[in-house]
Structure 1
Amino acid sequence: METKKLTSPSAADPLSIGQLAERTGVSVSAIRFYENKGLVQPSRNAGGQRRFKRADVRRISFILIAQQLGLTIREIGEALTALPDRRTPTQADWARISTGLKGRLDQQIEALTRMRGRLDSCIGCGCLSLKACQLYNPRDRLAGLGAGPHFGVTDPPD
């Protein structure tokens, strides 16, 4: 009786889309979306099935972290496209990218801090006719800034 030798996957073995989804915790549909946006580029096997490099696990991890930091899909695509040969970001790449994000994060923290401070007294002035809005936004002068809430998102006008 012949026994079949089981081999563990090597770094060169490609992953199916299901394996990549399982490994990253990202849905198959999200991986297809990332592919459609050019963030990952699988090859195809003879049967036309997608095959991903194992390095795509790191690439998708980069995408997830960048999304948590507030980058748009377009911004993530630009960062990944800027890498030589569209390779997976290295630690040095991430250090360079994250340096550019620190100012943006500081602005987001300041905006969130402003919103937190106004949360109990103002709903942003869209306006839902709270008595306080008569003080902050008499005659709905914020309407000139466009639709939507303004206090808490931007600084109140002088």
Structure 2
Amino acid sequence: MYIGEIAKRTGASPKAIRLYETMGLLTHVLREGSYRVYNTEDVEFVKLIKQAQQLGISLTELKKLVVSRNTLDWYAVIELLDHKQRKVNAEIEALKEMNKQISMYRTEIEECLKNL
């Protein structure tokens, strides 16, 4: 399949797919003349790239995990996911603290307004 078809199947733009290839995320893409030809394995890998991006994993981080044609170092993926999860948990805790402070300030302001 050509780039338009893989774009339709994955939701990635043709420009993004070319970027994945340039970065070495999609490797050994076949060519027919000047056209890139993708297979179902490429489709699944582009979907995986998009899922990783939705989890906050950058293309650069993902590139470090590629070991061969559309294959990742899954142990390194687990380590990266653990790191991302710790980061998310820390952000959640910071947001909870911020939420407590907002509630406290709101209560104080409401008390001041009652005394006017």
> Would you say same fold, with TM above 0.5?
yes
Gaps spanning 5+ residues in structure 1: where? 1-14, 123-130, 132-158
Contact 1:62 1:89 in 2 (8 A): no
Question: What CA distance in whole angstroms lies between the structure 2 residues aligned with 1:58 and 1:117?
Answer: 40
Q: Give the equivalent residue in structure 1 for 2:65.
A: 79
SS at match of 1:40: coil
Q: C-alpha displacement at 1:21, in angstroms?
A: 0.4
Q: Give the equivalent residue in structure 2 for 1:115.
A: 95
Instruction: Within 5 Å, give how 1:12-27 maps onto structure 2.
Output: 15-27=1-13
Matched, 1:88 2:73: no
Greater relative contact order: 1 or 2 (C-alpha under 8 angstroms, separation 6 or more)? Answer: 2
Decide which structure has the larger Cα Rg and report it.
Answer: 1
TM-score normalized by the length of structure 2: 0.71
Matched, 1:44 2:24: no
Question: What CA distance in whole angstroms lies between the structure 2 residues aligned with 1:116 and 1:29?
Answer: 39
Q: How many residues align?
A: 101
Contact 2:65 2:77 in 1 (8 A): no
* Residue among 52, 59, 84 paired with 1:104: 84
TM-score normalized by the length of structure 1: 0.54
More helix by share: 2
Question: What CA distance in whole angstroms lies between the structure 2 residues aligned with 1:114 and 1:29?
Answer: 37
Q: C-alpha displacement at 1:112, in angstroms?
A: 2.5
More strand by share: 2
Gaps spanning 5+ residues in structure 2: where? 106-116
Q: C-alpha displacement at 1:45, in angstroms?
A: 0.6
Alignment RMSD (CA, Å) = 2.3
Percent of aligned pairs with the same amino acid = 29
